[in-house]
Chains A and B, each alone.
Chain A
Amino acid sequence: MFLQTVVTGLSIGGIYALMAVGYSLVFSVLSFSNFAHGAVIMLGAYIGLGLVTKLHFGLGLVVSGAMAGAGLIAIVNEKLAYSLLRKRKAPSLYIMISAMGCAVFLENMVYATIGSRFYAFPAFFKQSVLCLFNGTCNIALLDLFAFGISILAILGLHLFLIHTRTGIAIRAGVSDMTMCSLMGVNLDRLISIVFFLAGIFGGAAGVFLGIKYLVYPTMGWVTNKAYIAAVIGGLGSLPGALLGGLILGVLETFVSTYVSSVMRDVFSFGLLIALLVWRPNGLFGRDTGEKV
């Protein structure tokens, strides 16, 4: 029972981490909370669903298609809703409200056009379950797959940020945007890349969420959990996002197993508030006070 709870928690935590990375990446460069990320994840899930039901693609193509689609949506989102504000050097709060507006707009656009129906992905893994420790602990193959992809993707992103020219440019932008642009980095392109990266992670997370649960317009709501995970780990930190996601996933599963599944969300939000009060920069966060 205990082991099973840990395993279930980790598998949810992996998806939370994948989504939390998107929040963290954008926050580290533009220091605002991109609430439209949830909507991008939701659209990624719909793209994946469309690919599999209309075009009958396999799992690999579905995931990569959703990733590419969500990445492009994230770029367009930035160009239309944030770039003007960013260039005017508007307070980050304005960008956040704009992001909130985007989330409301996209979510209800899907609601109004595609409808509020719940869609299910076809079973990719046919309920295959891996038994460990003489059957005391079961892992669905899907969970294992999603967890593996999540960890690999975050590791890949880490290597990308450390070793490539673009990665170095992004890290330079994190520490000082103006200086970075004086060094000859094209800021517009850099920010587009950051949003694209956040988007592709969101697209993958959306497909996994859709396979694990269902696809519906307000599924982006789950991403508030991912935001909490990002805050726990410290917004703007990649290892923080990973660790925060796993911690939140495991803790939540413990609460719903041993306390009550109803109180799970109350617990997560309580944890968020307690953590913000106790350690506003999270476990790995940098001290990013708002500039006067």
Chain B
Amino acid sequence: MNYVLSIVTLAGINMIAVLGLSIFTGFTGLFSFGHAALVGIGAYASAILTYYYFVPFPIALVAGMAASALVSLVIGIPTLRARLRSDYFAIAILGFGEALRVILENLEITNGARGLPGIEPFTTLPIVAGCLAVSVWVASNFLRSRYGAACIAVREDPVAAEMAGINLFRTRLLSLVVSAAFCGLSGGLLAHFLSFIQPVMFTLVQSTALLAAVIAGGMGSITGPLIASFIFIAMPEALRVAQMWRLVAYGLVLVLIMLFRPQGLMGYQELTTFFRRSRNDRPAA
């Protein structure tokens, strides 16, 4: 039972990061191969605070979110202002993520490539469930707000959105910072769940896994990526497949989805819309 609980906890932590990336990729339409590094920044920032400075866990989590958001500004401001082609942006943030990892591997305070062992395991399933619920609530409210509407408009047609008076740079940057904050939260929870973090845990492979969940779940949907990320975490554990076959499957899933169902599992739809529709379909009594 304990094992199942830990898988569910891990899936919940992962879902928060996927939620963040889905705001940036699914709703704003920019692709990122570097969000795992932002998860890493959140993990290291919060772990260092509780490990060396005995900062209370909730404050460390918030600090991790802030650190990720700040770091995302460093890459976001120059690249988004320059309006790179979307694949150039993806490679720029990939390079940024890898550079961050190399820096983490060579800092004194992060204990280098050996990683930080013995972080207090503060993260429990109720905490993760609470964080996830708050995250989903914040994300759906954000997307329903003026800012969220601007993001969706930018995704659908940047030129038309700009004509309508939306500032492309500011909208994209805001979306990046919000998604980075979610990733930071996920990282903080992860560090205090595994109680050990290492720079290699936040590489391109991890970024690809996050992106695979968002794309497989469906662009422009919150529930789709969450379901997909849960499946991605739970399935290999349930089937007891080795890590490398999981990655083989990620690659295959990405290709097959692009070829046959680019809109993903729940493209542009939420789980709730199905319920609503079925209620409306009922004949009037």
A residues sitting closer than 8 Å to B (CB atoms) are: 32-33, 80-81, 84-85, 90, 92-98, 100-109, 111-112, 224, 227-228, 231, 262-263, 265-266, 268-270, 272-273, 276-277, 280, 288-290, 292
What are 11 A-B interface contacts by the 8 Å CB criterion? A81-B259, A93-B86, A94-B258, A95-B258, A97-B215, A104-B208, A224-B98, A227-B91, A231-B91, A273-B95, A289-B85
CB distance from A91 to the nearest CB of B (A): 9
Whether B31 pairs with A93 at a CB distance below 8 angstroms is yes
Chain B residues, Cβ within 8 Å of A266: 99, 102-103
Whether B248 pairs with A265 at a CB distance below 8 angstroms is no
B residues sitting closer than 8 Å to A (CB atoms) are: 31, 33, 75, 78-79, 81-82, 84-88, 90-92, 94-96, 98-99, 102-103, 106, 157-159, 205, 208, 211-212, 215, 242, 244-245, 247-248, 250-255, 258-259, 262
Whether B79 pairs with A277 at a CB distance below 8 angstroms is yes
CB distance from A102 to the nearest CB of B (A): 6
Whether A85 pairs with B31 at a CB distance below 8 angstroms is no
Known: A97-B254, A272-B91. A290 touches B31 (CB 8 A): no
Whether A93 pairs with B248 at a CB distance below 8 angstroms is no
Whether A276 pairs with B92 at a CB distance below 8 angstroms is yes
Chain B residues, Cβ within 8 Å of A95: 258
Known: A85-B258, A108-B247, A269-B99. A96 touches B87 (CB 8 A): yes
Q: How far is the CA of A102 from the CA of B251 in the complex (A)?
A: 6
CB distance from A5 to the nearest CB of B (A): 21
Q: How far is the CA of A292 from the CA of B158 in the complex (A)?
A: 9
Whether B244 pairs with A112 at a CB distance below 8 angstroms is yes
Known: A33-B87, A272-B91, A290-B86. A85 touches B251 (CB 8 A): no
Chain B residues, Cβ within 8 Å of A227: 91
Q: How far is the CA of A224 from the CA of B33 in the complex (A)?
A: 13
CB distance from B284 to the nearest CB of A (A): 42
Whether B254 pairs with A101 at a CB distance below 8 angstroms is yes
Whether A108 pairs with B248 at a CB distance below 8 angstroms is yes
Chain B's closest residue to A32 (CB) is B87
Whether A98 pairs with B87 at a CB distance below 8 angstroms is no
Whether A272 pairs with B106 at a CB distance below 8 angstroms is no
Q: In the complex, which of the residues A104, A270, A276 contacts B251, with contact meaning CB atoms closer than 8 Å?
A: A104
Q: How far is the CA of A273 from the CA of B75 in the complex (A)?
A: 9
Chain B residues, Cβ within 8 Å of A32: 87
Chain B residues, Cβ within 8 Å of A108: 244-245, 247-248, 251
Q: How far is the CA of A5 from the CA of B99 in the complex (A)?
A: 24
Whether B92 pairs with A98 at a CB distance below 8 angstroms is no
Whether B262 pairs with A94 at a CB distance below 8 angstroms is yes
Whether B251 pairs with A103 at a CB distance below 8 angstroms is yes
Q: How far is the CA of A109 from the CA of B78 in the complex (A)?
A: 37
Q: In the complex, which of the residues B96, B215, B247 contacts A273, with contact meaning CB atoms closer than 8 Å?
A: B96
Chain A residues, Cβ within 8 Å of B75: 273
Chain A residues, Cβ within 8 Å of B258: 85, 90, 94-95, 97-98, 101
Chain A's closest residue to B250 (CB) is A104
Known: A105-B251, A266-B99, A269-B95. A280 touches B259 (CB 8 A): no
Whether B102 pairs with A272 at a CB distance below 8 angstroms is no
Chain A residues, Cβ within 8 Å of B255: 80-81, 98, 101-102, 105
Chain A's closest residue to B100 (CB) is A266
Given contacts A84-B259, A276-B91, 7 further A-B contacts (CB under 8 A): A100-B33, A101-B253, A224-B94, A262-B102, A273-B78, A276-B84, A277-B82
Chain A residues, Cβ within 8 Å of B158: 292
CB distance from B74 to the nearest CB of A (A): 10
Chain B residues, Cβ within 8 Å of A90: 258, 262
Chain A residues, Cβ within 8 Å of B251: 101-108
Q: How far is the CA of A262 from the CA of B90 in the complex (A)?
A: 24
Whether A290 pairs with B85 at a CB distance below 8 angstroms is yes
CB distance from B178 to the nearest CB of A (A): 21
Q: How far is the CA of A172 from the CA of B82 in the complex (A)?
A: 30
CB distance from B35 to the nearest CB of A (A): 14
Chain B residues, Cβ within 8 Å of A289: 85
Q: How far is the CA of A84 from the CA of B262 in the complex (A)?
A: 12
Q: In the complex, which of the residues B87, B212, B248 contacts A109, with contact meaning CB atoms closer than 8 Å?
A: B248
Whether A97 pairs with B247 at a CB distance below 8 angstroms is no
Chain B residues, Cβ within 8 Å of A288: 85
Which residue, A90, A231, A266, has most C-beta atoms of chain B within 10 A?
A: A266
Whether B254 pairs with A93 at a CB distance below 8 angstroms is no
CB distance from A125 to the nearest CB of B (A): 32
CB distance from B220 to the nearest CB of A (A): 14
CB distance from B168 to the nearest CB of A (A): 13
Chain B residues, Cβ within 8 Å of A276: 79, 82, 84, 88, 91-92
